[in-house]
Structure 1
Amino acid sequence: MARPVPDPVRPGQESVWDYPRPPRVERIAKRAQIDFGGIRIVDTDDVVRVLETSHPPVYYLPIAAFGDALTLGQGASFCEFKGGARYFDVHGGGGALAERAAWNYPHPMPGYEVLADRVAVYAAPMDRCILAGETVQPQPGGFYGGWVTSDLAGPFKGVPGSMGW
């Protein structure tokens, strides 16, 4: 499938089509917060993002920042760049549970070692994921875990017809 035409980039935006492949990992100076089950389960400014062509960034937060909101979930997957992933169930207030709503790479491939003690969370099952004060939108399609914010220009992998991007 041919690469789609990138959306126009407005002032203050970056295009996901300028992101590299293989992905790049970078620390950012932004606060990330996640609310689930009516409570805040994480609030940290220790944030790392992974940038990959056609994807909104995936944000990795310290596992320790989640306190008791994570338990090891079922299943595993493999990324050709980052390595083997394990999944976590996310627990919130009032007994809220989102199975396999977070993941990490406990033994990442070379170049991605900073991800070992960090976890990423799918935005869709949470009440709210907030980055630098902005409520994020989940990456389209439900399979990928990027967070869409107003400073991004797409189109984003995950929309119908994007399998071959």
Structure 2
Amino acid sequence: MSLTLGSGPFARPLAGHLNFDLEAAAPAHVLYLHEVDRRVRGEVAGETVVDTVGARMLHETGLLPQWYLPLSDVSGELVDSDHRTHCPFKGDARYWHLRVGDRVLENVVWSYPDPVRGSPNLSGLGAFYFERLDAWFEEDERVFAHPRDPFHRVDTRRSSRLVRVWAGSLLIAETRRPVALFETGLPVRWYVPREDVASEFLVPAERVTMCPYKGRAGYFDLEAPEVSGAEVAWTYPLPLAEAAAVAGYLCFAGPRVRVEVG
């Protein structure tokens, strides 16, 4: 996904084609730091612990993008930690605990006070383990799972192509009104209206996941005469704006089902 994952221009191995030799022109491990043109806030126990309009985003080969926020904009109490790590591409990382009332989040913030030569200047900036805070916001909208990548897109297109989903020799979905969802670095996903699915073979699963671009997903297990399997389909009942067209639709994938697109 985005610049350094999937089909991005700096992903390794390179999925697409360039008109120059990337291995000769760029290091094997790419770092790209840029400004984030929006307010970023983090909360713990309902209290804002960081609030900034000076955020940066670091893209790094093989990793999801990471916010680096000015340490001067952290309002929670930072307590120095003895924990240290070393990155050959960024340098020695220093860590802090974050104290909020009686709650202490251990080693939740890190920074590179003296980045190695060739690294973007990360001094004065700190990164947070995203999932350790209770909530994150861009402006006043909640961000889930991980920071949203400005180079990542989700597009939906309504289609009249024939989409069939098979479980063995059993046809469990057939439609000529699917919605194709195109997402950066991922294969096209075909979403089928629930009315065009043989729902008697699907059982709601317990799993729930959060996508920062599409929202909260629920899953279904398959219980069919020939084939059964866990989490063969998913749905976004209340998707975020970018994926609004697939609200309530089902998407199928995995080794237990076969999706045919005419």
Answer yes or no: is the 8 Å Cα contact 2:31–2:120 preserved in 1: no
Aligned length: 133
Unaligned runs of at least 5 residues, structure 2: 11-28, 153-183, 187-262
The answer on 1:98 being equivalent to 2:98 is: no
Distance 1:154 1:120, change over 3 A: farther
The answer on 1:43 being equivalent to 2:42 is: no
Answer yes or no: is the 8 Å Cα contact 1:15–1:154 preserved in 2: no
- The counterpart of 1:70, out of the listed 78, 87, 92, is 78
TM-aligned CA deviation for residue 30 of structure 1: 1.9
TM-aligned CA deviation for residue 22 of structure 1: 2.1
Answer yes or no: is the 8 Å Cα contact 2:109–2:127 preserved in 1: yes
Distance 1:60 1:88, change over 3 A: same
TM-aligned CA deviation for residue 131 of structure 1: 3.1
The answer on 1:122 being equivalent to 2:134 is: no
Q: Greater CA radius of gyration, 1 or 2?
A: 2
Distance 1:110 1:76, change over 3 A: same
Equivalent residue, structure 2, for 1:11? none
C-alpha separation in 2, matches of 1:66 and 1:45: 12
TM-aligned CA deviation for residue 37 of structure 1: 2.4
C-alpha separation in 1, matches of 2:64 and 2:129: 12
TM-aligned CA deviation for residue 148 of structure 1: 4.2
Structure with more contact order per residue of length (Cα contacts < 8 Å, sep ≥ 6) = 1
Answer yes or no: is the 8 Å Cα contact 1:136–1:148 preserved in 2: yes
Q: Which has the higher strand share?
A: 2
Stretches of 4+ aligned residues off by more than 4 angstroms: none
C-alpha separation in 1, matches of 2:149 and 2:89: 27
The answer on 1:83 being equivalent to 2:84 is: no
Unaligned runs of at least 5 residues, structure 1: 1-5, 7-13, 138-146, 156-165
- Quote the RMSD (CA, aligned, Å): 2.3
Query: Residue type of the partner of 1:71?
Result: V
Query: TM-score normalized by structure 2?
Result: 0.46
C-alpha separation in 1, matches of 2:56 and 2:87: 18
Kindly provide the CA deviation profile for residues 115-142 of structure 1, in whole angstroms up to 9, marking residues without a partner as x.
Answer: 11110000111111223434131xxxxx
Distance 1:56 1:113, change over 3 A: closer
Of all paired residues, the percent bearing the same amino acid is: 23
Equivalent residue, structure 2, for 1:24? 32
